[in-house]
Amino acid sequence: MKFFDILSMAMRSIRGNLLRSILTLSIIAIGITALVGILTAVDGIKAGITNTFQGLGANTFKIQKMGSGVMGGHGRRPVEYDALDFDAAMEFKERYKYPAKMSLTANARFMATVKYEEVKTDPNVFVSAIDEGYLTLGTAELGYGRNFTEPEVHSGTNVCILGHSLAKKLFKKSEKAIDETVNVENKKYRVVGVLASQGASGVFDSGNMVFVSVVNARLRFPNGNTSYTINVAVDSGYDIDAATSEATGLMRSIRKLPLGEEEDFMISKSDKLSSIFIDQISYLATAAYIIAAITLFGAAIGLMNIMLVAVAERTREVGISKALGAKNGTILRQFLSEAILICQIGGLVGIVFGIIIGNLVSMLLKGPFIIPWLWILVGISFCFVVGIGAGIYPAIKASRLDPIESLRYE
């Protein structure tokens, strides 16, 4: 019997037991939807994170104080390292000669209140100190207005840049904020720029922030323990490892660290940060495999039971086929084809829904639209294996039926 004849008979059998077939392929579709959906979402989120860090620049790194709570050794208390102060940061900018662009940032105030006329925010606005180079490194993008000028930064002029959602909250329309005066912790600032909207799903949410210059922050928000971060973007064509090595040596000299003593600062490269995020998200892929395996195992058991019932119901049909000359192999292929076909139909339905759901999650989290060809092939392969595993025993049982006994079966 030809392949297409067997396939046609399998389709007729599935239509003849439509309700049971739909229930079985629905279970399979749920498993494949979970598998393809989660893995598609993971791939989309990974691509979004990669694009975010590429926006920061592939050759970027930052220098900051070694974090608190770092263990100094077994049985010792956590070490609190000295802050990277303004003078040390400025000295680094002046002495670092590797071809690169640099900027300084610092946390000026964590819970500030911003007011415009009668509109007042909750005390949850983050005040960040930056210089004129911050926006040029691609860390954030202006939506309206302009960046700080170098004279404004050096003189500590009372000008600020607002995050998009903060400007919208105060002025209803973000573009109306330009050249208006706002009160930040009862200090008056003229708004010169508003950041473009980037949502809360990026590396950080800059929407509810106020940016002032680093010199202005020292004057208006004094804090003897402020620690600065130096952001460095190495020029295209130059080696990032050589740049970080030179930065390490220079910062050790500025911090006056003796030879052999461990660094009291840390250098973080953007590609390593993206790897950390991606590694954490990859655990979702493991969850997808577990969910799909459990669901498909249940579907396999259900499919096997249905096929065994089908064998019992069609015993007389098998007897007639054998009486007309059908061989055992033909009967086996017929029943096995039905099991595989049910699985493949359920798998295709699951793949379609998985792609839709996965990309919806990806787009909600600012990831791109993805056609997961690899996971489509994985889903089809899973269904093929399940179809063979669930159908082989009923198919063998049907092929071994005695034709005489089958013809007598009622």
Does the pLDDT of residue 75 top 60, yes or no?
no
Q: Which of 122-131, 197-206, 259-268, 327-336 has the lowest mean pLDDT?
A: 197-206
Q: Over the range 147-163, which residues count as b (16 or more CB within 10 Å of their CB) and which as e? A: bbeeebbeebbbbbbbb
Question: Which residue in this structure is represented by tokens 């620049």?
Answer: 57
Choose among 318, 339, 340, 332: nearest CA to 396. 332
Bigger pLDDT: 61 vs 139: 61
Choose among 258, 233, 228: nearest CA to 247. 233
Does the pLDDT of residue 350 top 80, yes or no?
yes
Does the pLDDT of residue 62 top 70, yes or no?
yes
pTM (two decimals) = 0.56
Residue 281, classified by CB atoms within 10 Å of its CB into exposed (0-12), middle (13-18) or buried (19+), is middle
Which distant-in-sequence residues (6+ apart) come within 8 Å of 139 by Cβ?
Answer: 56, 103, 231
What count of other Cβ atoms lies within 10 Å of the Cβ of residue 68? 9
For the ranges 44-53, 130-139, 309-318, the maximum mean pLDDT occurs at 130-139
**CA–CA distance from 24 to each of 8, 19, 105, 228, 275 (Å)?**
20, 9, 58, 61, 40
Does the pLDDT of residue 370 top 90, yes or no?
no
Q: Label residue 273 by pLDDT band (50, 70, 90).
A: low
> What DSSP string runs through 33-44?
HHHHHHHHHHHH
Residue 319: per-residue pLDDT: 78
Chain segment 96-112, per-residue pLDDT in tens: 999 988 999 999 998 89
Report the distance separating Cα 215 and Cα 234, nearest Å: 25
- Please report the sign of the dihedral spanned by the C-alpha atoms of residue 153, residue 155, residue 159, residue 165: positive
Chain segment 374-406, per-residue pLDDT in tens: 888 888 888 888 888 888 888 888 888 777 776
Report the distance separating Cα 121 and Cα 185, nearest Å: 11
Bigger pLDDT: 18 vs 205: 18
Does the pLDDT of residue 409 top 90, yes or no?
no
Mean pLDDT of the chain: 81
Report the distance separating Cα 199 and Cα 344, nearest Å: 40
Q: Which of 6-10, 69-73, 118-122, 294-298 has the lowest mean pLDDT?
A: 69-73
Does the pLDDT of residue 202 top 50, yes or no?
no
Does the pLDDT of residue 201 top 50, yes or no?
no
Torsion of CA 251, 252, 253, 256, to 10 degrees: 120
Beta bridge partners of 100: 234
